[in-house]
Structures are given as C-alpha cells and as structure tokens.
Amino acid sequence: MRLTILNDNVPSKGLLNDWGWSVLAEGKRRFLFDADTRGEVLAHNSKVLGVSLENLDFAVLSHWHYDHYGGFEYIAELNPGLSLYAPPGGRIEGLKVVEIHSAGEISEEIWTSGALDGFEHAVGVETPSGLTAIVGCSHPGADRLTKAILKVFGYEKAHLVIGGFHYPSRRTLERLAGMAEFIAPAHCSGDEAKAYVRKNYPEKFVEVRTGSVLEV
Ligand SMILES: [Fe+2]
C-alpha cells in the first residue's frame, strides 16, 4: 500500500500547506483519510504529487473538526455519492455519510476502531508487511486508538502508526512504542513528541510532512 501525505502541518516546497491532515491510501482499495481544511490544497497538491482524487472507493473522516473535513466538499465534486465513514455528528453535501459507532469492517482488510468516546475513530489496513494504523488527531489518545485497532484485528503489534497524536505525553509515546514497529508522528503531534520518538526510538521513527510518500 502506498500512503501519500496530501497535507500535513509541516510544509514542503512547491506544495500548498495549512494546519490540517489528509492522506491518500492506495492498496487493494483507494481511499482518502481526512480531507484537510481546503479543497484548493488537495487539488493543488494531488496534481503536483501526480495522484488522482477521482475514482476513490470510499473516504474516511476521523472526527468532525474542520482541519480534517474542510476539503470534503471538493472530494464530493470529484466523487459524487461517495461513502464517507465518519463518527456521528455531521454531514457533507454530496457524500453519503456512513456513521461509525462500533468497531467493524469497512472494506476487505480495512477496519475501523469504532468511535472512541463517540467522537473519533481510526482505521487499520492489513498489508503484507503487517498492520498499518492511520489516526487523525487522536483526541481519545493515540495509544487508545492504536490499541483499539490492534484489538479489532487480533494483532499484538502494528507495523506502522501514522497520524496526529495530539501533543501526547511521554507515557502515551512509550505505550505507542510498545505497540508499533514504526511510528510516524504527524499533524498535531508537536515538535516535542517528534523529537522524543526520534531520540528514544530512532529505529522506529518515520519522518513525514506534506508530500511524503510511504510504501508499506
Ligand atoms: Fe486536527
């Protein structure tokens, strides 16, 4: 599976940027995880990065905060009627919101953790290298979301956890390190968390920013 970071808080030359998070996942299925703040960012960056946001199989929204759903109107223009797997609490014109409450299968080898605290969910994707967990902002805790994903699949450890960890405590990062082979702190993780993982778990640390492409 290939993960293309369409926008992260950290900018890259030639790409538009703002505070937000959006990842295109392309494996057996093509889906968008979160849609940043603005369609213009997604349109520009996908073009420069050479990926299409048309013909998606589905989309996922981690939680109803603007820095994650702002670009979905643009995605709806490109993919009218597309299913958007999201926690309860909102709607997007042109998309079919499928409300996520509990853990379950979204598509072949792609599962949701269920909406933790009724607010935010994460997804897990099984790939040949193992389980990749993608998180949005981790308001319920990056460790809790990852644990929930592992439980759904019956895995002890994830291959990769990527996303916003919401300024995690050291304890949360220690727990994450015990649950994942690789850790890619992004979006709202904060410089301190990135530095902590880089220093204490250099073998696990994966640096991502706007425009990064990861193969898992
Ligand atoms: Fe966020």
CA of 71 to the centre of ligand 1 (A): 13
Question: Are residues 153 and 176 in contact, defined by beta-carbon separation less than 8 angstroms?
Answer: no
**pLDDT one digit per residue (tens) for the chain, 216 residues:** 999 999 999 999 999 999 999 999 999 999 999 999 999 999 999 999 999 999 999 999 999 999 999 999 999 999 999 999 999 999 999 999 999 999 999 999 999 999 999 999 999 999 999 999 999 999 999 999 999 999 999 999 999 999 999 999 999 999 999 999 999 999 999 999 999 999 999 999 999 999 999 999
CA of 139 to the centre of ligand 1 (A): 9
CA of 17 to the centre of ligand 1 (A): 14
CA of 172 to the centre of ligand 1 (A): 18
- Domain range for 106: 2-215
What stretch of H or E contains 162?
strand 158-164
CATH number, domain of 201, equals 3.60.15.10
pLDDT tens by residue, 135-159: 999 999 999 999 999 999 999 999 9
Radius of gyration of the chain (CA): 15
* Cα–Cα dist 43/123, whole Å: 24
Domain count of the chain? 1
* Cα–Cα dist 54/179, whole Å: 34
CA of 166 to the centre of ligand 1 (A): 8
Burial 132-170 (b: 16+ CB within 10 A, else e): bbbbbbbbbbbbbbbbbbbebbebeebbbbbbbbbebee
pLDDT of 181: 98
